[in-house]
Amino acid sequence: MRVGSEVRNGSNMKEYLEEAPQSWSERLVLSAVPKDGTLYSDGFALSAGLPVSYWGQLYTLLSDMEVELRAYRSEGRVILTVATEAEVSAPCARCLEPAREKIRGELRYVLSLRRGEERAVGEPESDGDEEIIALDSWEDEIDLAPMIWEALITSLPCGLLCRPDCRGLCPQCGANLNEAPCGCKKDAGDPRFDVLKNFMRGKGNDTAKNQK
């Protein structure tokens, strides 16, 4: 699950996160999940400290991220839902000005006791949308950081816009077209269409005047 290099204190310290920071030390204590199948829930806030890097894009959490846990037992397994809520900022995909969005992520995990040696250690198993995590019988605490991280990054928006109708940057002069028109002539067009334009003009067709 964990990718990239560790964020360390000292000279190698990175300016962004590629995995859950070490300050996320929250754990789920399995024995705290009721045996009778009733719901265990917990909630807390986490801060990232640094921007989050995902697919080459940096996202800044504008405030603490809210994390909500729900867990219950079913047929000897623990069904865990990890939900995250945050407001993130990233450059607008069209004009590069800061854009922000509220995001919500939710992932479901099935924590299942490992039976004998039927699976190799660390071998991932998936059952549709949920991820099955094999536990050893002596394990009572689950490190939640990788799951919280996964819920967060899978909810990050791609192609974030500062506003739905952002006009973006002029491809010729780079001006931000949300501020003012830049005066560049719009794409001169494919010269091969001039023949058609002249033909339309010759026929006195109004559509030729509307073309710019």
Nearer to Zn ion, 135 or 166 (CB): 166
Q: Where are the alpha helices (DSSP H) in 93-144?
A: none
Copy the structure tokens of residue 123.
């071998």
Q: Is 171 in the site for Zn ion (CB under 5 A)?
A: no
Q: Tokens for 179, please give them.
A: 């501020």
- Residue 28 or 92: which CB sits closer to Zn ion? 92
Q: Is residue 106 a contact partner of residue 151, using CB atoms and an 8 Å limit?
A: yes
Q: Does 95 bind Zn ion (CB under 5 A)?
A: yes
Smaller CB separation from Zn ion, 58 or 132: 58
| Structure-block tokens of residue 172 | 């010729």
Residues of span 185-204 touching Zn ion by CB under 5 A: none
Binding mask 150-169 for Zn ion (x = CB under 5 A): ------------x---x---
Instruction: In angstroms, give the least distance from the CB of 98 to Zn ion.
Output: 9
Q: Does 177 bind Zn ion (CB under 5 A)?
A: no
Print the binding letters for residues 108-137 with Zn ion: x by CB under 5 A, - otherwise. Answer: ------------------------------
Rounded Cα distance between 35 and 47, Å, is 32
Measured from the CB of residue 97, what is the shortest distance to Zn ion in angstroms? Answer: 5
Helices (H) and strands (E) in the chain, counts: 3, 10
CB 69 within 8 Å of CB 78: no
Residue 194 burial (C-beta neighbours within 10 Å; 0-12, 13-18, 19+)? exposed
179 binds Zn ion (CB under 5 A): no
Q: Which one among 132, 170, 200, 208 touches Zn ion, defined by CB under 5 A? A: 170
C-beta of 121 vs 180, nearer to Zn ion: 180
Selection from 74, 85, 77, 88 nearest residue 37 by Cα: 74
The β-bridge relationship of strands 98-113 and 130-135 is parallel
Task: Name the site residues for Zn ion (rule: CB under 5 A).
Answer: 92, 94-95, 162, 166, 170, 172-173, 175, 182, 184
